[in-house]
């Protein structure tokens, strides 16, 4: 009997050595799944909010265009269009659309969506110029990227 | 040799490792922001064929709901000035759900067109508000077909067959015909 008692008293704490492994697993999961912003944004981006917004189903079909006033003063104060990592001229937009479309699978080519992230202080002139170019390039599905408007005044 | 036996437990205390990993985990949870792909979707008209003259479309005046925005962000809705863009939601909703009752409003939802024309100097923020309210009115009308609210209509999942049928039915009843005209250059940049 004395033998049994001695053994049961020897170690009573739960082994926690495996806990870090579990936490690391969670950590790696989050590190792998979350996508850190691919493009460095060179223009001001405070998007206007809208109430009835819809969600895009497939992210792989979306290309982004950023419009707004440049963050750095050396680029001037007029709003510019940014695609991927650099500013883009209006006449380069059609080429850009073609390049973006080439990245997609054949079946998805006409499903391509261009997401416009436009700063709220931008005027409509440049936005409509971009739209005209996209129309020429046959990229007809576009989306004005906006966060959800939270109504607090009711 | 006897010495090492005396030490007994040789494990490194790994309990605090969990704390460090937790700290990292929380750091990543806080700093990573999920890119939200949400917004107002529109479809642009196909490009015009330069060899062909632009098609001459005749429409009854009552079937067009005109929204004009000038470079000072002032609204002219159906030839009358309007101050609050949020009032547009009910006006557009009334216009598209008229079904020929009021002689000034649309004949039927299939004929109704909401025309938004901005100036080059109009601010993007106001344009989004106007477009949002016009689209919101359509979603509200579509929800009304199914007996649900506009938000509930947007919450329907097109991947589920029964809900897809509901969406198709609502889309047939109220096709979204919002025309965004090319802005004029009166106001300048």
Q: How far apart are CA B131 and CA B75, in angstroms?
A: 13
In chain A, which residues have their Cβ closer than 8 Å to the Cβ of B45?
Answer: 135, 140
CB proximity B30 to A under 8 Å? no
Residue B79 lies in a domain: yes
Say what the pLDDT of residue A2 is.
55
**Cβ–Cβ of A144/B40 closer than 8 Å?**
yes
pTM attached to this predicted model: 0.76
Any idea what DSSP says for residue A109? G
Residue B164 lies in a domain: yes
**Cβ–Cβ of B37/A55 closer than 8 Å?**
yes
Which member of A16, A23, A124 has the closest CB to residue B119? Answer: A124
The answer to whether B96 and B112 have CB atoms below 8 angstroms apart is yes
Taking residues A134-152, what's their average pLDDT? 84
**Cβ–Cβ of A30/B28 closer than 8 Å?**
yes
Ordered domains of chain A (ranges, CATH): 59-144 (3.30.420.270)
Q: How far apart are CA A49 and CA A57, in angstroms?
A: 20
Domain membership of residue B81 as a residue range: 61-184
Q: Give phi and psi for A91, each to the nearest 5.
A: -75, -10
Question: What value does the CA radius of gyration of chain A take, rounded to a whole number of Å?
Answer: 26
Residue B15 lies in a domain: no
**Cβ–Cβ of A124/B34 closer than 8 Å?**
no
CB proximity B152 to A under 8 Å? no
Our CA angle for A40, A69, B186, nearest 5°, is: 145
The reply to whether ipTM tops 0.85 is no
Nearest to B138 by CA among B157, B116, B123, B117: B116
Which member of A16, A50, A140 has the closest CB to residue B15? Answer: A16
The answer to whether A101 and A112 have CB atoms below 8 angstroms apart is yes
Which segments in chain B show pLDDT lower than 70? 1-9, 11-12, 14-15, 32-36, 185-189
CB proximity B189 to A under 8 Å? yes
Residue B189 lies in a domain: no
3-state secondary structure of B82: strand
Residue B23 lies in a domain: no
Residue B68 lies in a domain: yes
Our CA angle for B84, B86, B92, nearest 5°, is: 110
- Number of CB pairs < 8 Å for A and B? 162
Residue B99 lies in a domain: yes
> Which residues, in sequence order, are bridge partners of residue A114?
A63, A142
Say what the pLDDT of residue B87 is.
85
- How distant is the alpha carbon of residue B129 from its chain centre? 10
Total tally of structural domains belonging to chain B: 1
Residue B80 lies in a domain: yes
Strands (E), A48-125: 54-55, 62-68, 80-83, 86-88, 113-118
Any idea what DSSP says for residue A143? E
The answer to whether B137 and B89 have CB atoms below 8 angstroms apart is yes
> Which residues, in sequence order, are bridge partners of residue A145?
B39
The tens digit of pLDDT for each residue in A83-118 reads 888 888 888 888 999 988 888 888 888 888 888 889
Q: How far apart are CA B11 and CA B24, in angstroms?
A: 24
């Amino acid at each position: 009997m004395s033998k049994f008692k001695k053994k049961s008293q020897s170690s009573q704490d739960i082994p926690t050595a495996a806990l870090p492994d579990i936490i690391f697993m969670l950590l790696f999961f989050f590190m792998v799944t979350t996508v850190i912003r691919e493009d460095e944004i060179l223009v001001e981006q405070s998007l206007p909010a809208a109430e009835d917004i819809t969600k895009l189903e497939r992210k792989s079909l979306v290309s982004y265009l950023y419009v707004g006033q440049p963050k750095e003063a050396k680029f001037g104060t007029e709003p510019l269009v940014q695609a991927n990592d650099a500013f883009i001229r209006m006449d380069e937009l059609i080429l850009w659309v073609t390049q973006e479309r080439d990245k997609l699978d054949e079946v998805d080519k006409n499903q391509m969506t261009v997401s416009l992230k436009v700063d709220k202080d931008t005027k409509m002139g440049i936005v409509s110029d971009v739209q005209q170019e996209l129309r020429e390039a046959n990229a007809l599905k576009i989306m004005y990227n906006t966060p959800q408007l939270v109504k607090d005044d009711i | 040799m006897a010495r090492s036996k005396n030490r007994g437990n040789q494990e490194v205390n790994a309990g605090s490792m969990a704390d460090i990993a937790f700290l990292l985990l929380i750091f990543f949870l806080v700093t990573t922001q999920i890119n939200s792909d949400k917004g107002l979707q529109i479809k642009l008209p196909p490009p015009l064929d330069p060899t062909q003259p632009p098609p001459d479309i005749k429409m009854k005046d009552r079937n067009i709901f005109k929204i004009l925005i000038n470079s000072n962000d002032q609204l002219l809705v159906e030839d009358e000035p309007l101050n609050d863009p949020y009032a547009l939601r009910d006006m557009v909703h009334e216009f598209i759900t008229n079904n020929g009752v009021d002689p000034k409003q649309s004949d039927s939802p299939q004929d109704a067109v909401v025309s938004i024309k901005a100036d080059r100097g109009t601010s993007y923020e106001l344009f989004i508000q106007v477009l949002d309210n016009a689209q919101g009115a359509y979603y509200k009308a579509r929800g009304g077909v199914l007996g649900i609210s506009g938000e509930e209509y947007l919450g329907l999942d097109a991947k589920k067959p029964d809900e897809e049928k509901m969406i198709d039915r609502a889309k047939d009843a109220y096709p979204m015909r919002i025309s965004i005209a090319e802005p004029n250059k009166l106001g300048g940049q």
